[in-house]
Amino acid sequence: MAGGIVVLGALLGLTACSGSEEPIGAKPTAPVLQPGKPGESNRTLSPEEAGSARPETPPNDADVTYVREMIVHHRQAIEMAVLVPDRGADGQVKGLASRIADAQGPEIEMMDAWLKKHNKAPVPPAGHGGHNAHAGMPGMATPEQMDQLKAAKGAEFDKLFLRLMIAHHQGALTMADAVKTTGADVRVQEMADDVTASQSAEIRRMQQMLGA
C-alpha cells in the first residue's frame, strides 16, 4: 500500500510539472478574429495584437442611412407578411411569411437600438411621410402594388406575394452590398452580412415555390 502511495504521488508531481495546464493569471493564447474594413477580409490577431487593436471606427453617414432605410424596408416586409394568414392559400407561403415577420420584427428593434446608441434620430412610425418616405429605395412595393396584394385572395394572392417579396428581398441585397462598400461601422457590416445570407436563402426558396 505504501508503494502505491509513492507511485501516485510521483504521477501527480509529473502532471503538475508537465505544463499541460496554464498557470493562474496567464494571458490567453487563442487567436482573435478582427472583422475587416468594408471590402477587406477578416484578420486573425495574436493576443498581443488584439490587446493593442485600434478602437472601433465610428459610423459614417452611409451606415446611418442604411440602418434607417432598412427599418423602413423591414416594416413593409412585415406589412406584406401579416396579410398572408387571411388571404393566402398555400401552407408553405404562410410558413414563410410567419418566419419573415418573426425575424424582421426583432431586427427592427435592434436597429432602433443602434440608432439610439449612436445618438441618431429614430425613424418615424410607419405611415408617416407616405410613399415619399421610401421613394427610390430598391425593392419597395408601390402603393398600387400593395393595394393589389390586399385585394387578392387564394392562389392569386400567393403568387403576387411571392413576386413582390422576391423583389423586396433583392432590393435589400442591393442595399446591403452598397453599405459593405461605403459603410464604416463593424456592427452595420454584420447586419448587412446577415441580410445577405438570410434573404438570399429566402429568395431561392420563394423562386422554387413559384416554379412548383
Least confident range of 60-64, 73-77, 122-126, 205-209: 122-126
pLDDT (tens digit, 9 = 90+) per residue, 164-173?
Answer: 999 999 999 9
Determine the pLDDT at residue 43: 64
Determine the pLDDT at residue 204: 97
Could you give the CA distance from residue 45 to residue 35 in angstroms, rounded to a whole number?
Answer: 10
pLDDT (tens digit, 9 = 90+) per residue, 84-139?
Answer: 999 999 999 999 999 999 999 999 999 999 999 999 999 998 654 444 455 579 99
Across the range 22-50, mean pLDDT stands at: 57
In this predicted structure, the answer to whether residue 53 has a pLDDT above a threshold of 60 is: no
To the question of domain 61-125+138-211 being in CATH 1.20.120.790, the answer is: no
Please indicate, yes or no, whether the overall pTM of this predicted structure exceeds 0.85: no
In this predicted structure, the answer to whether residue 49 has a pLDDT above a threshold of 50 is: yes
Instruction: Give residue 17's pLDDT band: very low, low, confident or very high (50, 70, 90).
Output: very low
All structural domains of the chain with their residue ranges: 61-125+138-211
Determine the pLDDT at residue 131: 45
The rounded percent of the chain whose pLDDT value lies above 70 is 69
Q: What is the mean pLDDT of the chain?
A: 82
Instruction: Give residue 46's pLDDT band: very low, low, confident or very high (50, 70, 90).
Output: low
Please give the grid coordinates belonging to residue 198: 438570410
